[in-house]
Amino acid sequence: MGQLSFYNFMKKNRILTALCLLGFVLGNAQSYIPTYATRANQVTQTNINTLLQEFETLGVKKTGTVANDNALQWIKNKYLGFGYTASQIQENPFSYFNGTGTTSSKNLIITKTGTLYPNTFVIICGHFDTITGPGVDDNGSGTAAILEVARILQSVPTEYSIKFIHFSGEEQGLKGSAAYVNDVVNATSPKMNIKLVFNLDQVGGKIGNNNNTIYCDQDQGGLTSNNAASQAVTQQLATCTTLYSPLLTAFDPAYSSDYIPFEQNGEVITGFYEYVRGYLEHTANDTLVNVDKPYVKNVAMAAVGAAQHFAVAQTTLSTTENSISDFDVQVYPIPTPSILNVDFVDTKNQKFEFQILDMTGKLMLNTTKKQMDISSLDNGIYIGKLKIGDRYFQKKIIVKK
């Protein structure tokens, strides 16, 4: 290489470097995508509550028990109800020595094939087995959030394939996820290509606490080769959380959940975990009344946003998708002695107005704020009327001092 060509090479290389840097910046700059928000907004509190309630009713889902099998069947039926076909659903049986004999159980895997990268997978996972109690926080909460993601994305094209995986055997030491990595990921030829693993475990929060933050789990240990990539996707997870849910984010090290066998296999991992812990996991008190249901809903919204980002979902709404009709308006607390909150996400950022009428239809209050003091109203029942753009929502309000 002569001097001149070397100079030219350097010049070219600098441009390449600049392009790479630009690409790096662009690649990480996650702009708000209104369609992603519309889909995140399709998570409903009613669905979350129903899923958590049903999860509780399934009882103590200890690995190897009938209740554990019933839970797997319940999850499978949810997917069939969402429109996934039997050919998309697989069971992955595994067994392990429990000290005195063999315990057998199954993981459940649902595959949604990508349009551009069908052989590269975004894994969205969480365990459904519990121990001692019904495990509504650990891990009915993650299970409910994953089910909402799967429901909302069922008909949404994504560039990457998604595998929704519900692991069993987590409480016995990550038995199900370890078996899956060994028997499926590494036994596939060529080895399964995994873009990243996004694990949701224990996202129910602490009841009575203002749960406004979620931990985004970073790989800071184990193999060092995959740490930097985990930091990058965990940052993206945090950004998605901010863009598509009301939650704030914090970072913590990934540990002791189903992403760990993947981490040890060199995969890129991330996850969600409750920021303020209820500390009721693995007890009989890990029940519905002790879980912050709106928090689980917010986590599910963040997960819908992140899943779309990771799998690169179509950015236009298809005709088969629910539109803004799934607007979820929350008015709380009810009853209230004074402060009333109105909450909703409007991706179009339209003007809104909130009115309170008495039972005769007389206008008592008119505001454009999401929080108001209604302590001047007499005890009784009122109608709250929310107008967003040209749409109306009505909610019953009770004033009780």
Positions that interact with Zn ion (CB under 5 A): 138-139, 201
Least Å from the CB of residue 143 to Zn ion: 10
- The number of CA neighbours under 13 Å toward the Cβ of 79 is 24
Q: Least distance to Zn ion from the beta carbon of 270, Å?
A: 16
Residue number with CB closer to Zn ion (178 or 388): 178
In terms of CB distance, is 41 or 202 closer to Zn ion? 202
CB of 127 to Zn ion, least distance (A): 6
Q: Which pair of tokens denotes residue 107? A: 């993981």
Give the relative orientation of helices 227-244 and 3-28 as an angle to the nearest 10 degrees.
40
Q: How far is the CB of 252 from Zn ion (least distance, A)?
A: 15
CA nearest 200: which of 172, 160, 241, 231? 241
Q: Where are the beta strands (DSSP E) in 150-242?
A: 160-167, 193-200, 213-218
Q: Quote the least distance from Cβ 315 to Zn ion, whole Å.
A: 33
Residues 6+ apart with CB under 8 A from 210: none
Report residue 357 as tokens.
């009428």
The answer to whether 212 and 149 have CB atoms below 8 angstroms apart is no
Cα separation, 159 vs 370, in Å, equals 38
* Smallest separation (angstroms) from Zn ion to the CB of 305: 22
DSSP state of 325: G
Q: How far is the CB of 150 from Zn ion (least distance, A)?
A: 19
Residue closer to Zn ion by CB (options 45, 172) is 172
Residue 111, beta-bridge partner list: 163
Structure tokens at 242: 């901010």
How far apart are CB 138 and Zn ion at their closest, in Å?
4
80 versus 284: smaller Cβ distance to Zn ion: 284
Name the residue nearer to Zn ion (CB basis): 217 or 321. 217
Place of tokens 């993981």: 107
Query: Measured over all CA atoms, what is the biggest interatomic distance in the chain, rounded to whole angstroms?
Result: 91
User: Omega of the bond prior to 190 within 30 degrees of 0, cis?
Assistant: yes
Based on CB atoms, which residue is closest to Zn ion, 33 or 108? Answer: 108
Closest to Zn ion by CB, 139 vs 270, is 139
Closest CA to 262 of 196, 203, 215, 309: 196
